[in-house]
Structure 1
Amino acid sequence: MTAHKILLLTLTTLVLLRMVTSVIAPDHDDMCIKRRYTTDKCMINCCWRFTTNDLVKLNVSVNCSSPADSHIINALSSFNTSSTSCVGYHLDHTLSCLTAIPDNYCHYHQTRAITLHDNSIFEFPDLRCLRLLGKLDLRSNNLKTIPSYAFNGLTKLRVIYLSHNEIAHIHPKAFESCCPLINLYLGHNKLTTIEASVMGQPHPFCHMMFNHNLITSISNTNHFQLKKDRTYGPGYVSLSHNRLTKGPKEILTAIGVTNMAELGQLMFWGFNFRHNPFHCDCSVYEMALIWKLFVSSGVWYDNFNVTCATPRRFSGLPMHAIPLDNFTCNVFGGCHDKCVCELNAHQRATVVSCQGADLRSLPDVMPQGRRLILHMNNNSIRNFPRRNFLSRTTSINLRDNALSKIDRNVPHLLRNAERVDLRDNDLKYLPQTIRALSPKALFLDLHTLTCSCDLKWFPAWLQYSDDHAHLNNITCRKPPLDERILLLNATEEDLGCFQNTNDLAAYEFALIITSISLLALVVLLVVFRHELVVVFHHLAARKKGYQQIANRRYQVFVSVNADSHEDSQWVRDVLLPALDHHGLASYLPPRDSVPGSVEMDDVTKGLHHSAAAITVVSHDYVDSGPCLFQFSQAYSHKVVGRHGPLLVFRLSPVSRMATREPRLRAMLTLRMFYATNIGSVKRAVAKLVATLSDVQDNAEEVELDG
């Protein structure tokens, strides 16, 4: 039994039970409220009648030239207060010129009924003094608003007639602390909205008429909610001849109905939504579904004959005559500009239609929604990539594309899909992860696959489902003779799983050696990356040559840890004499620094005014931050910037990991340094002199050529 049939059976049973039990609905305790009667507008025997026959009529004096000065002059007769019948006054003055209720009406506190229709009353009266009032008839006046607490304390009030006025606004709390109404007539006014709590009557009533207004929505300013442990109504509510465009889902949501099960609380009611310009999209689906179920079971009421105004293809059609699958709403967020996206209420899914849209790839994003139905057929999609929205997809149609590859992660995302159609494509291989799909959900071409050992799972996979007849005739092509193998009965030998084991072993061995070599290469590149950079910089300087270094104030910038006695003594006793011997002027911080200047600025200026740089490296040097800064500046200016040679003298052995400066560490690792004995120093200084001389000669030749 389908869900719709179960719902129909449940609703029919509830209606029948209500028709049986309605006759025992509790009577009102007011003697003016007589026997119930039947109306053709009620689904059940639900109505009562308020009678004024036994009431004493009040006489009103009014001068139409001054209608505001009206008052009650006397009662036409008296009544016996000891009577058990309906006793009290009836203020009855119709078809006149009253602009307000008579000013002394509160003197007649036993007034049971007010009938002042067809006057010119423009302000709603304060009736709190009439505690016994049971009927209020102010039809065909000039009322424009109903104020807050308009009926406060009127616990006996049962019937209100306010139709044919100019009422455009009802305060959200107008009916607060009111009464168990039988009839409320607000038709033929100018209302644009009504408060949901007005209809939340926890007792049977007859009519609530809001017909012939300008109502476009139901508001819920009072945050009224249906309580699941209470019974409401039943009664008849008319919203006909208004401007409602959306279905009752919005109305029911406003009063707390969140699903079809809770709708049973209102199923005994009568609703009239006729003559509204409904837009028949997904918002009216629930209403159309219920009416279709009743009509199909032979139950008919005129109120079911609600027609559509839009869209054009449904204009004038009754909702119950439209196929349920056609109640859709357009979805724009996340929808590809070449696709049409709709929320299908009947399928409870977002349907994305991209067929024939000339797509070259699957869209990156899709609209939000727990269920997606994707029509991607008749395009040029070549790859079936992983997309996060596939986990929400219940059906996807990729027929008639150019599909040749499926990402191995796709089947896992589609494992809950009910249909995956991949026919009319060029699929030669299937990933083994396709087994995550149910065989009854997958549709494939019969003759495009190529036989391989990767398909050996296929026969066993088919046995997981009884519904796989559409896959039984799928074959694969076995090269080199293009033999056709039926996959349903294919063996591992048919699929070519048995190969030359020697060739396979050699292939695996070569693959392992290659992998190890690549891994070792990556490790070496990571570990010795700075050494590679230093080699590159020196080769570039050697190939391109140094830039103009003539006319410098100093020939050599010397970087040494001046705080180290041993390092400073070596420079003073060995290095400087060798430089002086060749006439090379040296800059030695802090010896040549300007008193009071910033050390870093002096280092930068000294390097720019020197043709070459010498670094004296020792344990004390690599432990000093300022010394490492001097080296970093010297390397960047001389080597990277090609502004002169950089020489490194190592006073004492320094391990590779002892220095934090990566380029100095690299030069020490590559042994790009000189020893500190006198012979080595003399050779290094002589080579430096030759280099500076060559640079000077080249510069002069360039100047002459110019």
Structure 2
Amino acid sequence: MKSIGLNLIILNLVNVVDLLNNDDIFKVMFNRTDLLCPEFCNGYRLVSCCMCYVQKTREKLHTLNVVHNAKTEYPTIEKPNVLNIQYQIIHRFKKTKRLPVNICNFTGLIEIDFSNNEIKSIDNISCVKSLDVLIMHINRIEYLRNDTFIGMKFLRMIDLSYNNLRHIEPGFLIHMDGSLLNFDVSNNFLTTVDVTNVLWEKQPAFCKTDFSFNEISSISNELHWTCKRNTQFGYGGMVIFSNNNFSHFPNFSEIGFKNFFLLGKLLDYGFDFRENNWICDCRIYFFAFKASLVLDKQHRDYFELSCHYPPEFKNILLIDFIKSQTLDRLICNLTIADRCPPKCRCFYQPGRSRTVVDCLGTGRRKLPSVLPLKTDLEVDFSSNEISSLLNDTGSGNIIYSYSKYISKLDLSNNTIKIIPNDLVFKLRNMNLINISKNKITKIPRTLQTLNPCQIYFGEVVIHCKCKDIWLQNWLPSFHSKCFNNTRVYCKYNNEKVHILNMSKHGFGCRLYNEDILWLNISLAVTAFIVTVSSVLIYIFRFEIFITVRKILKYFKKIVVSSNLYAYDVYISCNEDDATLRHWLTSSFVPHLEDENIRVFLPFRDCELGSPREEEIIDVMSKSLNFVIFLCENYDGSADLWVQKEWKYAWFNYRYDINREIIVINYDTLECKYIAKKYLGAFLKIHDFIDFSKKDKHIKEEVYKSLQHVQGDAFATNRNFNDLNAARSAIHMDVTYTNIDNEMANLNIKHDDSVDAT
């Protein structure tokens, strides 16, 4: 929020300054009334003129004397005989090694000049808050902290030229919030400068920042500063980088300008990069291309950067490349270290968005093993002795592995005879393939996957056969613009005949027999019918199985002996549904048993303590019919046993035609909600009993649907059902007896403990 507020203030200042006269500029921008703008400053360069030709109201400054203490060897400022409000120090050529120890005692210091001394540090200068001019020309200062001048609102000029300055801490100028107009660190030993010491965010304007005659070769961004859309740089000023060691412009995204167009915020700045060792190659192309967009709108003499390297561009102005629209001459040569094949010339050319690998006429017998790791490769292996494109450890591999990076491939004037089929598929991503003037005698049919206009075969003479007739459809017509790319001729009657002029008879093709045509059509229709039928049979396999099974049983009139099965009916239901459980035990099961049907009801007839799944498997293998109640909700354990009962019921149903499954839709479910598709199939073919019917009708339909046994088994059934009821009663008696015994034991233990007490 603080930075946003500051940006708004600077933006408002910029708008207000346009309405002010010369006398008010410094008052509004820096809150200083002692600085005046000359009358000759006017027009659209008003602000920059005022910053550089500022005039200060003259005050009488008393000069302080600096002496060296003989005991401590530290310089000190003598107490003046006449007290004054404002002072100055002019102390030159005295071989002084440090600032006076009592300099902070003189808060009225306005100007300090310690030129031509041996001072190494000025870290304690910030205590002189009223300082206006600081001249430390020709000293031995090596390091400048970013808080050295903190709080010095009136500091207008800093001259640190001709020192031993090697490092300026990042964040110095970008946070400068005073009235510093001139900052001179020229003729030092700086090798890099941070972007936060080049740009000013908090101060609305300045005159000049001078980094000239250093050894600067790069601009860093140690604080990871980023230019945002609301960042403001005010009216800016002049930044001089002339006579340094720059060879390339920095990567603008790395120094905080992620969006290149945000550099437009610096149009009020001036950057002088003349007299550097500029290398005019591909790395300067991006800057030059973007600069061409604004060159017509404004021009400065400091834009005239001259190339130092390569030799053919030496002393040529970069601006001449832009004006002549020859930026495509800016290339970067690649070496073996960049994976350029030996004896080849490789270069990256951003002006044409390509990387060229030129191996023309280098006497190669096979393709190289590597290529530069670049996109849009244009590879030229023409006029060599390459004979094979097979994908082996020798030649050929390079095209297979780099096919997605190669846009143009020239293999003309070689001795290639065969184009492998698998290579053709790799060529699909290329824009142009030239294989002309080789010894090709056979054209693979896989070429149909390529556009004939993207490949050059030149003139090819082959022995045409019927299998080559596809070329007539693939090759461009006589009127096509790429007709001459590939011209295929057939050897016919000792003559060369263009393949487009050949007839089917000339190819040696037999005329198509109508019987064969109908046979092919019949086979195709049959294959289609078989495929569709197979899919439908698979989708409706359960419905078909159930229906066919019922038809077979109907015609076979199957009779089942009562001795084959121990139970007539096995009931599978949701045992946790109290309502269903009550209906089964009180109405449904008694009804079946009254009809002499042997019923097994799991929650009633299963033996206590026996393994449940084993008993289910055993009982269901001895049951003739399975009555399954479909319910909506099951608890965890109930669902587990019901799923097992369904599985074993279907298993027995599938492999024994005597058995039947009767599905009762208890909760009126739809087939799509049934987990097991084989049970859902009963619902799809409407082979189920709706539980919403009357009780009497349900019982009647179940009885009719059952597979009945032969003969009258009334006595046996009755005895068996009585046996089940008796067994259940015995289980209940045993259970209650066990409970009584446990209670008796508890009472005995309780009485014993009471007696002991």
TM range (shorter): 0.5 to 0.7
Residue of structure 2 aligned with 1:91, choices 77, 88, 93: 88
Instruction: Report the alpha carbon displacement of residue 113 of structure 1 after superposing the two structures with TM.
Output: 4.6
- 1:149 aligns with 147
* Counterparts of 2:388 and 2:429, CA distance in 1: 21
Could you tell me whether the CA contact under 8 Å between 1:114 and 1:135 is conserved in 2? yes
Residue of structure 1 aligned with 2:351, choices 338, 346, 354: 346
- 1:380 aligns with 385
State the one-letter code of the partner of 1:396.
L
Residue of structure 2 aligned with 1:479, choices 478, 491, 502: 491
1:243-258 equivalences in 2 (<5 Å): 243-245=245-247, 247-250=248-251, 252-257=252-257
Instruction: Report the alpha carbon displacement of residue 501 of structure 1 after superposing the two structures with TM.
Output: 7.7
State the one-letter code of the partner of 2:332.
T
* Counterparts of 1:367 and 1:467, CA distance in 2: 39
* Counterparts of 1:446 and 1:428, CA distance in 2: 11
Change (3 A) 1:20 1:106: closer
- 2:305 aligns with 306
Could you tell me whether the CA contact under 8 Å between 1:59 and 1:76 is conserved in 2? no
1:192 aligns with 2:191: yes
- 1:590 aligns with none
* Counterparts of 1:349 and 1:44, CA distance in 2: 47
Change (3 A) 1:195 1:60: same
* Counterparts of 1:427 and 1:57, CA distance in 2: 96
- SS in structure 2 at match of 1:346: helix
Could you tell me whether the CA contact under 8 Å between 1:279 and 1:308 is conserved in 2? yes
Change (3 A) 1:469 1:23: farther
What runs of 5+ residues in structure 2 fail to find an aligned partner? Answer: 1-13, 20-24, 390-395, 517-757
Change (3 A) 1:313 1:76: farther
Could you tell me whether the CA contact under 8 Å between 1:364 and 1:387 is conserved in 2? no
1:486-505 equivalences in 2 (<5 Å): 486=498, 489-490=500-501, 493=504, 496=507, 498-499=509-510
* Counterparts of 2:408 and 2:444, CA distance in 1: 19
- SS in structure 1 at match of 2:250: helix
Instruction: Report the alpha carbon displacement of residue 494 of structure 1 after superposing the two structures with TM.
Output: 7.5
Could you tell me whether the CA contact under 8 Å between 1:38 and 1:46 is conserved in 2? no
Change (3 A) 1:287 1:471: same
Question: What's the CA shift string for 1:139-195, capped at 9, x where partnerless?
Answer: 233323223522233355453221122222333465585436433211111222222
Change (3 A) 1:149 1:21: closer
- SS in structure 2 at match of 1:395: strand
* Counterparts of 1:76 and 1:349, CA distance in 2: 77
**Percent of matched pairs sharing the same residue:** 22
- 1:207 aligns with 208
* Counterparts of 2:506 and 2:126, CA distance in 1: 93
State the one-letter code of the partner of 1:91.
Q
- SS in structure 2 at match of 1:126: helix
Could you tell me whether the CA contact under 8 Å between 1:456 and 1:492 is conserved in 2? no
Q: Which moved more, 1:376-385 or 1:431-440?
A: 431-440
* Counterparts of 2:249 and 2:479, CA distance in 1: 41
* Counterparts of 1:341 and 1:43, CA distance in 2: 48
State the one-letter code of the partner of 1:93.
I
Question: What's the CA shift string for 1:633-663, capped at 9, x where partnerless?
Answer: xxxxxxxxxxxxxxxxxxxxxxxxxxxxxxx
1:517-666 equivalences in 2 (<5 Å): none
* Counterparts of 1:467 and 1:232, CA distance in 2: 62
Change (3 A) 1:59 1:125: farther
- 1:30 aligns with 32
1:121 aligns with 2:126: no
1:277 aligns with 2:290: no
Q: Which moved more, 1:146-155 or 1:446-455?
A: 446-455
- Structure 1 stretches of at least 4 aligned residues deviating more than 6 Å after TM superposition: 19-22, 36-39, 64-67
TM-score (norm 2): 0.54
Could you tell me whether the CA contact under 8 Å between 2:68 and 2:76 is conserved in 1? no
Change (3 A) 1:377 1:205: farther
1:224 aligns with 2:200: no
* Counterparts of 1:271 and 1:21, CA distance in 2: 26
Instruction: Report the alpha carbon displacement of residue 96 of structure 1 after superposing the two structures with TM.
Output: 4.8
Question: What's the CA shift string for 1:309-345, capped at 9, x where partnerless?
Answer: 3333333333344543342142424332232333323
Q: CA RMSD in A?
A: 4.1
1:126-525 equivalences in 2 (<5 Å): 126-147=124-145, 149-172=147-170, 178-179=176-177, 181-202=180-201, 203-232=204-233, 234-245=236-247, 247-250=248-251, 252-257=252-257, 260-290=260-290, 297=296, 300-321=299-320, 323-324=326-327, 325-331=329-335, 332-384=337-389, 385=396, 386-448=399-461, 451-452=464-465, 456-458=469-471, 461=474, 468-472=480-484, 474-486=486-498, 489-490=500-501, 493=504, 496=507, 498-499=509-510
* Counterparts of 2:267 and 2:461, CA distance in 1: 56
Change (3 A) 1:176 1:355: same
Instruction: Report the alpha carbon displacement of residue 57 of structure 1 after superposing the two structures with TM.
Output: 1.9
* Counterparts of 2:156 and 2:421, CA distance in 1: 71
* Counterparts of 2:152 and 2:491, CA distance in 1: 94
Instruction: Report the alpha carbon displacement of residue 61 of structure 1 after superposing the two structures with TM.
Output: 0.8
* Counterparts of 1:22 and 1:495, CA distance in 2: 90
Instruction: Report the alpha carbon displacement of residue 364 of structure 1 after superposing the two structures with TM.
Output: 3.2
* Counterparts of 1:196 and 1:467, CA distance in 2: 61
Question: What's the CA shift string for 1:664-691, capped at 9, x where partnerless?
Answer: xxxxxxxxxxxxxxxxxxxxxxxxxxxx
Could you tell me whether the CA contact under 8 Å between 2:194 and 2:219 is conserved in 1? yes
- 1:610 aligns with none
- SS in structure 2 at match of 1:256: coil
Instruction: Report the alpha carbon displacement of residue 93 of structure 1 after superposing the two structures with TM.
Output: 1.6
- 1:53 aligns with 57
State the one-letter code of the partner of 1:357.
T
The structure richer in helix per residue is 2
Question: What's the CA shift string for 1:11-46, capped at 9, x where partnerless?
Answer: xxxxxxxx999957983333344438999xx99953
Could you tell me whether the CA contact under 8 Å between 1:62 and 1:70 is conserved in 2? yes
- SS in structure 1 at match of 2:137: coil
State the one-letter code of the partner of 2:57.
N
Change (3 A) 1:377 1:33: farther
